[in-house]
Amino acid sequence: MRPLTPTRFVEFDPKTLSELEGRAVVQITPEGTLGQAARTANRLTKGAIARLVEAKSFEKTKAGDVISLAWPAGMKVEALDVLVTPRKLTATEARKAGAKLAALGGGKTITVLAGSMVKAADLALGMALRDYRFDAHKSSQDSTVGEIVIAHKSPAETETAFAPMAAVAEGVHMTRDLVNEPANVLTTTEFANRLVEMEALGLEVEVLEEAELAELGMRTLLSVGQGSDSPSKVVVMRWNGGAADAAPLALVGKGVVFDTGGISLKPAGGMEDMTMDMGGAGVVAGTMRALALRKAKANVVGLVGLVENMPSGNATRPGDVVTSMKGGTVEIINTDAEGRLVLCDVMWYAQERFKPAGMIDLATLTGAIIIGLGHENAGVFSNDDGFCNAFLKAAAAEGEGAWRMPLGKAYDDQLKSRIADMKNVGGRPAGSITAAQFLQRFVKDGTPWIHLDIAGVASVKSATDYAPKGATGWGVMALSRMVQDLYEDR
C-alpha cells in the first residue's frame, strides 16, 4: 500500500509565510476576524484578505469553507488558502476542514499555520484521510499532497496526539486499497498473503486452508467457494495487547473477493462492482492494522472468510442442503445470498475457539439495507443494548453513519424450510433483517453480538467528506474507537 503522506509538525512562526512554497493555509473566523497568520498574510498581500472579508460574497461563507487566492502578491506560494473556522473548533469540524484542504493538494506541500488551534491533530487526520488515491494500475499516477506541515505553537504535543490517529488513517487506507483492488489481483490467496504480511506489525496471523476447513465442518463456507478455482480460506489475526486472561473482542468479516451470484447469476450491469463484496473482511483487516500500529491495550481477534462465488459445474445449486459447522442444515434457496453462509461458520468457529467477550461481524450483505438507509448509514443489528450503544457512540464520535435496525421472532418465521432446519433467504420483505436473523442463529447464548451490514457505505459513487469516490474505509475509525472506549479506557 502507498504510505501516508509525510506529516511534519513545526514551530509556529508567521514570519516564515513570505518564504513558504506550495500552498499555505491561514485562518479567519466566520465573522471575519483574522488570526495571527492571516494578519501577516494580509500585510504581505497588501490587504487581499481584508478585501476578501469586506466583499459581499463573504457573507455567504460558512465554517469549514476554504477560499483560495492563487499566486498571491508578496508571497512565493502558488496558493494562499483561507480557512474559515470558528475560534472553538470541534474534532469533526477540524477533520472536515483538513479533508477540504487535502482535496486541493495537487502534489504540493501544504503548510497549515495552525497557531494555537486545539484540534490541530484532528485537522491533520482529516488531511491524511482525504489524501488518498488508488492508481496502482494506471500508467500515470495522480498527484497527491507532497507533504503536510502543521505549524503549531505546541508542535511536540500536537505530534504526540496525531500519532495514534495516523495509525488509524493507515488502517483506513489499507481497507480502501483492498476494497478497490480488482478481483484478478486480489484473489483469495493474494488477500491472505497481504494479511500474513502484517505479522511484521506484531499480529499473529494464521491461514486455514480448505482441508482444515472441511475437517472443522465449515461446509456452508466451503459451499460458496466450491464453484471457483480460487481456494477458500479463513485467516485469523490476533492482537494480544491486553491482559493475558482477558477474553478478546472478535471481529468477523465477509471476504467474497468476487460475487457473480453463483448459479443465481447477477445481472451483467454493475457486476463489476462486486469486487467490493469483500468489504467486511477489508474493514477487519484495516482495523487490525490500526490496532497493531497504535499498540492498542486490548485483546482483539480478527477472522475473515475468503471465498469467490462463481458458477461452474461444481457450483452449489439452488435447492441444495448443506450442514453448517454448528450442525444445523441450511436449504440454499438463492446462491447469491452467500455472505451469510460464509459468516455463520466463521462466527461459530470464533466463539468455539476464542470464547470472545463480544463479537462483531461486518459484511456487504444485502441490497435491502441500501434501500432502507441509502449510502449514509450502515445497518446495525444487535442482541445486546449496552454493546450496541457502545458501538453507536463510537461511530457517532468518528462521524461514521450507523443506524440500529430491529430484530424479532416474526422475522425468523420467514426462514422456515420445508426440507431443512432453515433457508438462507426469507424473501423480499425485510431482506436485511432476515439476513441478520439468519446470522443470529449462530450466536451463542451470552455472547454480545453486533451485525453490521455495510453494503451501502463500503464503496460509493461520489466523494465523501473524507474519501474520493470508491472505497471509503468505513468502520475502521469506529471500531478502533470502540476498542479504545470499551476495552482500553477501563
Are 414 and 315 part of one and the same domain? yes
The answer to whether position 1 is within a domain reads: no
Last residue of a domain, one of 125, 155, 185: 155
Q: For the residues 249-271, what does the mean pLDDT come to?
A: 97
**Tens-digit pLDDT profile for residues 360-409:** 999 999 999 999 999 999 999 999 999 999 999 999 999 999 999 999 99
Side-chain-side CA neighbours of 340 within 13 Å: the count stands at: 31
Whether 489 shows a pLDDT value over 80: the answer reads no
- Dihedral angle computed from the Cα positions of residues 354, 432, 445 and 328, in that order, rounded to the nearest 10 degrees: -80
**322, 219 Cβ separation under 8 angstroms:** yes
- Active-site residue set: 266, 340
Residue with cell 492498542: 296
Are 304 and 439 part of one and the same domain? yes
- Write out the residue range of the structural domain in which residue 108 sits: 7-155
Confidence (pLDDT) at 119: 96
pLDDT band of residue 142 (cuts 50, 70, 90) is low
Confidence (pLDDT) at 278: 98
**Tens-digit pLDDT profile for residues 192-213:** 999 999 999 999 999 999 999 9
What whole-number percentage of the chain has pLDDT above 90? 93
The answer to whether position 165 is within a domain reads: no
Rounded distance between C-alpha atoms, residue 330 and residue 421, angstroms: 6
Of 206, 271, 258, 272, nearest to 230 by C-alpha is: 258
Are 39 and 95 part of one and the same domain? yes
Identify which has the larger pLDDT, 201 or 140.
Answer: 201
pLDDT band of residue 139 (cuts 50, 70, 90) is confident
- Measured at the alpha carbon of residue 317, what is the angle toward residues 316 and 318, in degrees to the nearest 5? 130
Q: For the residues 119-124, what does the mean pLDDT come to?
A: 97
**309, 256 Cβ separation under 8 angstroms:** yes
**5, 131 Cβ separation under 8 angstroms:** yes
- Dihedral angle computed from the Cα positions of residues 154, 156, 159 and 163, in that order, rounded to the nearest 10 degrees: -140
Last residue of a domain, one of 155, 183, 217: 155
The answer to whether position 39 is within a domain reads: yes
The answer to whether position 90 is within a domain reads: yes
- Measured at the alpha carbon of residue 239, what is the angle toward residues 306 and 255, in degrees to the nearest 5? 15
**Tens-digit pLDDT profile for residues 419-428:** 999 999 999 9
**23, 109 Cβ separation under 8 angstroms:** yes
pLDDT band of residue 474 (cuts 50, 70, 90) is very high
Distances (CA, A) of 456 to 277, 432, 489: 11, 12, 31
Residues in the chain: 490
Are 233 and 353 part of one and the same domain? yes
Segment (H or E) for 434:
helix 431-440
pLDDT band of residue 63 (cuts 50, 70, 90) is confident
Are 110 and 188 part of one and the same domain? no
**319, 420 Cβ separation under 8 angstroms:** no
Are 258 and 195 part of one and the same domain? yes
Side-chain-side CA neighbours of 332 within 13 Å: the count stands at: 26
Whether 326 shows a pLDDT value over 80: the answer reads yes
Confidence (pLDDT) at 145: 65
Rg (CA), the chain: 24
Confidence (pLDDT) at 140: 75
Are 358 and 460 part of one and the same domain? yes
Neighbours of 111 (CB within 10 A): 25
Of 200, 194, 155, 188, nearest to 173 by C-alpha is: 194
Confidence (pLDDT) at 384: 98
- Measured at the alpha carbon of residue 450, what is the angle toward residues 129 and 237, in degrees to the nearest 5? 65
Are 197 and 343 part of one and the same domain? yes
Whether 105 shows a pLDDT value over 80: the answer reads no
**The domain that contains 117 carries what CATH number?**
3.40.220.10
Q: Which of 102-106, 315-319, 338-342, 364-368 has the lowest mean pLDDT?
A: 102-106
Last residue of a domain, one of 130, 155, 180: 155
Predicted TM-score of the model (pTM): 0.96
Rounded distance between C-alpha atoms, residue 261 and residue 224, angstroms: 10
Are 114 and 239 part of one and the same domain? no
The answer to whether position 161 is within a domain reads: no
Are 414 and 369 part of one and the same domain? yes
Whether 108 shows a pLDDT value over 90: the answer reads no
- Dihedral angle computed from the Cα positions of residues 122, 127, 129 and 131, in that order, rounded to the nearest 10 degrees: -170
Confidence (pLDDT) at 141: 66
